[in-house]
Chains A and B, each alone.
Chain A
Amino acid sequence: MAAAGGGRLRRAVSALLLRSPRLPVRELSAPARLYHKKVVDHYENPRNVGSLDKTSKNVGTGLVGAPACGDVMKLQIQVDEEGKIVDARFKTFGCGSAIASSSLATEWVKGKTVEEALTIKNTDIAKELCLPPVKLHCSMLAEDAIKAALADYKLKQEPKKGEAEKK
C-alpha cells in the first residue's frame, strides 16, 4: 500500500511538474466514452419521461419506429386553446442517442406553437447532442416522432365523428 501510495505521489508530482492542466480522468467504459456528456445526461437526469392521457382531445401521440429495428419512440404533446404546446412527454426503446434525441425533442417543443414545432429539424437535434454519423438516424426518428404527434393532434381537431385515434 505504501508502494502504491508512493507511486501515486510520484505520478502526481510528475503531472504537476509537466504542468498538465489537471489530472485527466479516464472516461468510463467504451460506449460512455463514445457518447457526448449531453447524451448521458438525458438518461441520468431524465426530463419529460412519461405519458399523457392519449384519449384527451388536446393530446397528440406519435409512435414511430419498430422493435425489430431496435428503435421505438413515443412522443406526446399537450396543446392549449391557442395552439401552443404546453406539455410534452416521451418514452423510448432505443440506444442512448435515441433516448437523448427524443428527450431533447420534448424539451424543444414545449412552449412552441404547433406550426413552430414543425420546423424542428433532425440536423439541429444531432448538432445539439453532437451525434456521430452512425447515430444520425436517431435524430431523424425524433423529428418523425414530433411530426407524428403533431399530425395526430391535428387529426383529433378535425370535426370527424368516430375518428379512431392513431395508435
Chain B
Amino acid sequence: MLLRTAWRRVAAAVPVAPGPKSDAPTRGLRLRVVDHSPQSAVPSDTATAPQAESMLRPLYMDVQATTPLDPRVLDAMLPYLVNYYGNPHSRTHAYGWESEAAMEHARQQVASLIGADPREIIFTSGATESNNIAIKELEAAIQPDTSLVSVMTVNNEIGVKQPIAEIGRICSSRKVYFHTDAAQAVGKIPLDVNDMKIDLMSISGHKIYGPKGVGAIYIRRRPRVRVEALQSGGGQERGMRSGTVPTPLVVGLGAACEVAQQEMEYDHKWISKLAERLTQKIMKSLPDVVMNGDPEHHYPGCINLSFAYVEGESLLMALKDVALSSGSACTSASLEPSYVLRAIGTDEDLAHSSIRFGIGRFTTEEEVDYTVEKCIHHVKRLREMSPLWEMVQDGIDLKSIKWTQH
C-alpha cells in the first residue's frame, strides 16, 4: 500500500510528457522539475493542488543578473570541493602544494582571457570588491592630482558597449588611471588590457557561467598601479587582499574563463542569432516597441525593450513562466525608474515600460520562441487593458493631457 500511495504521488508529481497540450520547452541540459524543498511547505491558502502546467520552473532569461554554472566548470571544481581540500597557502605539505598549483593555474586562465600577466590578477570575492579596491586606489595615489576614470565595459541594463580602447588611449595620454568594470563583458567580447590600455579591471565569476562568491581584479604592473588593500590580514595575494584564497571557487573561475575563451566566437554567433530572432519577431508583431541603447555598439545578449502603453511589472507578472527583469520602478524598492534609462534620455513613461531579455550560452531557440510568443500575447492583452493605448487609438496625443499629480 505504501508503494501504491507513493506511486500515486509520483504520478501526480511527474509533469505530463511533452504532448500537444504542453508547449513549454524543456531543455536537455537542465531539467525543469517540481521543487520539493521543505522550506516552501508553508501551509498557506496560496498552495493549491498542483496543476500540470504550473509544475515547471520558469525559463531563465535573466543572464545579466546571474548565469548557471557551465557543467565543465563544475567538473573542474568538484575535485577541489571533495578531495583536494588543502589551503593553497600551506607551504609544508602536498595538500597545500596541489591547491596552490590549482590556484596558479586558474590565475593563468583568467589572465590569458584578457591578455594580462598572471602576476597582475588578484582574486577577490567578486566584482563589487574589485571595484571597491580600484576606487580606493584613488585615495592611495602618490601624487595628489592623480585621478581615476572608471567606466563599465558593457552595461548590465541595456547592453551598450563603451568605447574602451578610445577611453584607454585618452587616459593613457593624460596619465590618468583607467578602471573598467568588465563583469558583463569578460569572456563575451574580446578584451585585451594592453591594446585597450586598461590599468584596473573588475571580473565577476557568476556572470560568466562560473561560481558565485568569486571574482578578480586585474592590476597593471607596468607601469605599476598602486592599490590599497581593503582587508588586511595574513598578506595573501601579494598583500593586496588578505584571506585564504578559496581554491574550489578560483578553480571554477579559471575554468569559466578558459571555457569562455574557447567558446567566445561561437557563443557570440549563437547569441546574436537568437537576439536577432527575438527582436525581429517582436518588432514585426507589435507596434510601438522601442529598443533602448545604441543599436550599433551593443552586446547582443542583453536586449532592453520598452513596450509603450504597457507597464513593465504587469508584463513580468503576466510572463510568469519566464524569468525576466525590468527597468520599471515597481520592481525596484524605490519608485524610481531605471537610472540608466533616464540617463540615456528615455521618456519616463517608456522607462516604466521596459523589460530586459537576457540571452546566454545555454539559451535555446525554443525558449526564445516561447518567450516571444507569450510576450506578444500578453502585451496585446495588457494594451487592451490600458487607458493610454485606448487614447492613442482614439487619436489623442498623450503629451497634451494634463495628468493629475499625486
Say whether A63 faces chain B, with CB atoms less than 8 Å apart. Answer: yes
* B9 and A91 form a contact (CB under 8 A): no
Quick check: B40 and A35 within 8 Å, CB to CB? no
Contacts of B385 in A (CB 8 A): 46, 49, 91-92, 99
B10 touches A26 (CB 8 A): no
Asked whether A29 and B311 contact (CB < 8 A) given A91-B385, A95-B330, the answer is no
Question: Do A32 and B317 form a contact, CB below 8 Å, given A51-B390, A63-B387, A68-B348?
Answer: yes
Contact at B324–A29, with CB atoms within 8 Å?
yes
- Tell me, in angstroms, the Cα distance from A68 to B318 when the chains sit together: 22
Considering the complex, give the chain B residue whose CB is closest to the CB of A167: B401
Given contacts A28-B58, A167-B401, A15 and B36 within 8 Å (CB-CB): yes
Determine if A4 is an interface residue (Cβ-Cβ < 8 Å): yes
Q: How far is the CB of A55 from chain B (nearest CB, A)?
A: 12
B55: Cβ under 8 A from any A Cβ: yes
Q: Beta-carbon contacts of A115-159 to B below 8 Å, as 1s and 0s?
A: 000000000000000000011010011001000100000000000
Question: B residues within 8 A CB of A35?
Answer: 317
Is A112 among interface residues, defined by CB-CB distance under 8 A? Answer: no
Select which of B33, B46, B386 is within 8 A of A91 by beta carbon.
B386
Which of B55, B322, B328, B401 interacts with A29 by CB under 8 Å? B322
Contact of B340 with A by CB under 8 A: no
A66-B31 contact, Cβ under 8 Å, with A8-B14, A20-B41:
no
B317 touches A37 (CB 8 A): no
Contact with A along B302-331 (1 / 0, CB 8 A): 000000011111101111111110001111
Is the C-beta of A40 less than 8 angstroms from some C-beta in chain B? Answer: yes
- Which chain A residues lie closer than 8 Å to B328 at the CB level? 70, 95
Interfacial chain B residues near A134, Cβ < 8 Å: 333
CA distance A167 to B406 in the complex (A): 17
Say whether B36 contacts A23, CB under 8 Å.
yes
Interface status of A64 (Cβ within 8 A of chain B): yes
Name the residue of chain A whose CB is nearest to the CB of B399.
A67
Within 8 Å of chain A (Cβ to Cβ): is B227?
Answer: no
Chain A contacts for B58, CB-based, 8 A? 28-29
CB of B344 within 8 Å of the partner chain: no
In contact, B313 and A95 (Cβ under 8 angstroms): yes
